[in-house]
Amino acid sequence: MAEIERVSDFIWEISPTGNMSVPVRIYGNKRIADSIKKDRTLSQAVNASTLPGIVKRMCVMPDGHEGYGFPVGGVAAFDSDEGIISPGAIGFDINCGVRLIKTNFFYQEIKKSIPKLMDNLFKNVPSGVGSKNNIGLSRDKLDRVSEEGAQFLIDNGYGFANDTEMIEENGCMEGADSSKVSELAKKRGLNQLGTLGAGNHFLEVQRVESILEEKTAKGYGLFNDQVVVMVHTGSRGYGHQICSDYIEKLIQYQRANKIELADPQLSYVFTKSKEADEYLAAMRSAVNFAFSNRQIITTQIRKGFEETFDRSADSMGMDVLYDVAHNIAKLEEHIVDGRKRKLYVHRKGATRAFGPSRKEIPKLYRGLGQPVIIPGSMGTASYVLSGRDESSEESFGSSCHGSGRTMSRHQAIREIPASKTISDLNKKGIEFRVRSRKLISEEAIWAYKDVDDVVSSVAGARISNLVARMVPLGVAKG
């Protein structure tokens, strides 16, 4: 593999050699650029750069790390007519994403109630491997959820009327077709709506520690010392099974079309194929499932606040600031070599970061840029950023999605005692509720990159602006 060349203090590049069709561009300061060489992130990005129909460049965000075939933190765009769709470039947890819910509380007002609040939230939002939330959803209603998204749930009492205005795709990606989803996926998903799952998924009560850009923060409804709630989860077993099902189908597709892959995990279908249509219809169903999952969790969070403070959620200002996906493929319009083109943008562990001029973002945020919600690791800060118009041409309107792992889960369990993380959380005064002691080690801060490094890198690369920094008060995990 060719050497990484410096483009600027926050941008690095691998020029095309061999079968590469486009360069690989890495975003990050020098520390991140050096650390990203330690696993297979860059070799996976180089493999991705050989895929048919890839346009302009393969992007690796500063939180990038090795994934299944395609690096987590990777962004690739493919020509809408002559390109491909790759499940591995989207991920198994389709529409894993983040939602931020505001309150009108100052931290000091509720400081003493944080333990009780965390108890109520932990009770109301099931978490952990195989967690279930039996809300009486029939198979037919599950299909409606997957095709109609969050609005179907709001119509049935789960949420505020204006919630969908603050969700990417308004909480429903068009083109979903539940008939393209297997019965096994539906069985796995039926009782998982409204659950966090395990791994790096979490619910966190946070305090806005500092406002970094006053005008945008005010437009987003953020203020110093405000209490907010962040949720990170995806499509659970429903989306995982869809990805597994279609990867199996793609094996047959590769053989039938005599396709040779740079990596067996980078299987794909051409955009104009029947197989692509079927996968996209199923993927969009999982996208809508995930938006709906976070919608039910939002309702349960509001309920937890109501139980704790004996007030209505509406009176506590519990509006959704925004909800963003970070494992998804979407047909979008971007500027390539000075002209607009329709592209299938694959984001795997990367967040859409559209600038102020894009019509796809809520009217309230036009002129400010789309909110980009970046969680840290357990016990560290999280951020709200805003998208920039320059990102459309630079990174296909994309930014980072979190801290990014530096250790595998198994390595973290071996090397980081749970007691070390528990001691760190206690010293910081963070209430935590975790169902699995093993997870405490998996999600320790030492298993992740420094989130401050990550967000300063996308700001330095001018693809996102820093808006606000939040610190945890309480965290609930599987």
Please say whether the beta carbons of 49 and 77 come within 8 A: no
Q: What b/e readout covers 35-70, taking b as 16+ CB neighbours within 10 angstroms?
A: bbeebebbbbbbbbbbbebbbbbbbbbbbbbbbbbb
Does residue 410 carry a catalytic annotation?
no
Please say whether the beta carbons of 442 and 129 come within 8 A: no
The alpha carbon of residue 41 and the mean position of all alpha carbons in its chain are separated, in whole angstroms, by 18
SS3 308: helix
The candidate with the shortest Cα–Cα distance to 216, out of 464, 436, 476, 406, is 464
- In whole angstroms, give the CA distance from residue 353 to residue 343: 16
Amino acid letter, residue 423? S
Q: Name residue, tokens 């987003």.
A: 220
Q: What is the Cβ-side half-sphere exposure of residue 354, based on CA atoms within 13 angstroms?
A: 20
**Lookup: tokens for 207:** 């305090």
| Catalytic residue (choose from 240, 326, 346, 401) | 401
Amino acid letter, residue 197? G
- In whole angstroms, give the CA distance from residue 169 to residue 294: 14
- In whole angstroms, give the CA distance from residue 225 to residue 213: 15
DSSP assignment of 116-144? HHHHHHHHHS--STT--------HHHHHH
The candidate with the shortest Cα–Cα distance to 350, out of 72, 51, 54, 36, is 72
Please say whether the beta carbons of 347 and 328 come within 8 A: yes
Sign of the Cα pseudo-torsion (272, 273, 279, 284, in order): positive
The candidate with the shortest Cα–Cα distance to 135, out of 193, 76, 200, 175, is 193
Instruction: Give the alpha-carbon dihedral of 161, 162, 164, 168, to 10 degrees.
Output: -170
What positions carry a catalytic annotation? Answer: 401
